[in-house]
Amino acid sequence: MFEERRLHPAAIIFNILKVIKELFFSLLIVLVAGNFLIFSIALGAFSILASVYGILSWYRFSYYVTDDELWIEYGIFKRTKRSIAKNRIQSIDLTESVIHRIFKLTRVQIETASGGEKAEAALSAVSLKDAKELREVLKNSGKAGTLVPEEMYLAQKEISFSRLLLAGITSGGLGIIIGFIVVGLSEFDELIPEMVYNYTYEWLVTASIIFIVLIILGVLATIWLLSILWTLLRYGKFTIRRTEDELFITRGLLERKQLTIPLHRIQAIGIEENILRQPFGYAFIFAEIAGGNTDGKLADSTILFPLLHKREIAAFLDEFAPDFSWQEEEVEWTKPPPAALPYYYVRSSVLFLLASIAVFIFFRSFAWIPIALFALSLGLGWLSYKDAGFYLKGNRLLLRYRHVKRTTVLIQQKRIQAFEKKNHALERKWSLASMKISILSNTGGKHYHVKNLEEEKVNQLGDRIAYRNKLE
pLDDT tens readout for residues 71-112:
999 998 888 999 988 888 888 889 998 889 888 999 999 888
* Strand, coil or helix: 186: helix
Question: In angstroms, rounded to a whole number, what is the distance separating the alpha carbons of residues 427 and 93?
Answer: 47
pLDDT in tens, 338-390: 999 999 999 988 887 887 777 777 777 767 777 888 888 899 999 999 999 99
Residue 67: pLDDT band by 50, 70, 90 thresholds?
Answer: confident
- Name the H helices within 276-367: 310-320, 341-362
- Domain boundary at 147, 179, 198, which? 147
Q: Are 271 and 327 in contact (CB under 8 A)?
A: no
Tell me, yes or no, whether 284 and 401 share the same domain: yes
Which of 33-42, 244-253, 389-398 bottoms out in mean pLDDT, i.e. has the lowest?
A: 33-42
Question: In angstroms, rounded to a whole number, what is the distance separating the alpha carbons of residues 129 and 127?
Answer: 5
Distances 241 to 74, 262, 290, 393, 420 between C-alpha atoms, Å:
35, 12, 20, 29, 36
Question: What is the 3 state secondary structure string of 370-392?
Answer: HHHHHHHHHHHHHHHHHHCEEEE
Q: What is the mean pLDDT of residues 48-60?
A: 91
Give residue 397's pLDDT. 93
Give residue 221's pLDDT. 82
- Please tell me the total count of domains within the chain: 4
Q: Are strands 239-242 and 155-158 parallel, antiparallel or unpaired?
A: antiparallel
Q: Is the pLDDT of residue 309 over 90?
A: yes
Closest CA to 408 of 420, 396, 417, 425: 396
Give residue 390's pLDDT. 95
Residue 381, domain member (yes or no): yes
Tell me, yes or no, whether 311 and 444 share the same domain: yes
Give residue 145's pLDDT. 42
Tell me, yes or no, whether 352 and 211 share the same domain: no
Residue 146: pLDDT band by 50, 70, 90 thresholds?
Answer: very low
Residue 208, domain member (yes or no): yes
Q: Which residue has the higher pLDDT, 197 or 320?
A: 320
Q: Which residues, at least 6 apart from 137, have a Cβ–Cβ distance to it below 8 Å?
A: 1, 65, 143, 144
Residue 247, domain member (yes or no): no
DSSP sequence for 351-362: HHHHHHHHHHHH
Q: What is the mean pLDDT of residues 190-203?
A: 59
Residue 250, domain member (yes or no): no
Residue 149: pLDDT band by 50, 70, 90 thresholds?
Answer: low
Q: Is the pLDDT of residue 176 over 80?
A: no
Tell me, yes or no, whether 320 and 345 share the same domain: no
Question: Phi then psi for 83, rounded to 5 degrees?
Answer: -125, 145
Tell me, yes or no, whether 375 and 464 share the same domain: no
Is 0.85 surpassed by the pTM of this model? no
Q: Is the pLDDT of residue 207 over 80?
A: no
Residue 285, domain member (yes or no): yes
Give residue 141's pLDDT. 53
* Strand, coil or helix: 13: helix
Distances 195 to 31, 187, 202, 218, 229 between C-alpha atoms, Å:
19, 18, 10, 24, 34
Tell me, yes or no, whether 359 and 417 share the same domain: no
Tell me, yes or no, whether 410 and 305 share the same domain: yes
Tell me, yes or no, whether 401 and 299 share the same domain: yes
Q: What is the mean pLDDT of residues 184-197?
A: 53
Residue 463, domain member (yes or no): yes
Residue 282, domain member (yes or no): yes
* Strand, coil or helix: 72: strand
- Domain boundary at 117, 147, 177, which? 147
Question: In angstroms, rounded to a whole number, what is the distance separating the alpha carbons of residues 429 and 135?
Answer: 59
How far is C-alpha 423 from the chain's CA centre?
A: 30
Residue 155, domain member (yes or no): no
Tell me, yes or no, whether 364 and 291 share the same domain: no
Tell me, yes or no, whether 143 and 18 share the same domain: yes
Q: Is the pLDDT of residue 211 over 90?
A: no
Which of 31-45, 185-199, 400-414, 432-446 bottoms out in mean pLDDT, i.e. has the lowest?
A: 185-199
Tell me, yes or no, whether 118 and 230 share the same domain: no
Q: Which domain holds residue 224?
A: 163-235
What sign for the dihedral angle of Cα 245, 253, 308, 381? positive
pLDDT in tens, 268-279: 999 999 988 999
Tell me, yes or no, whether 17 and 103 share the same domain: yes
* Residue type for position 197: Y
CATH code of the domain in which 100 resides: 2.30.29.30
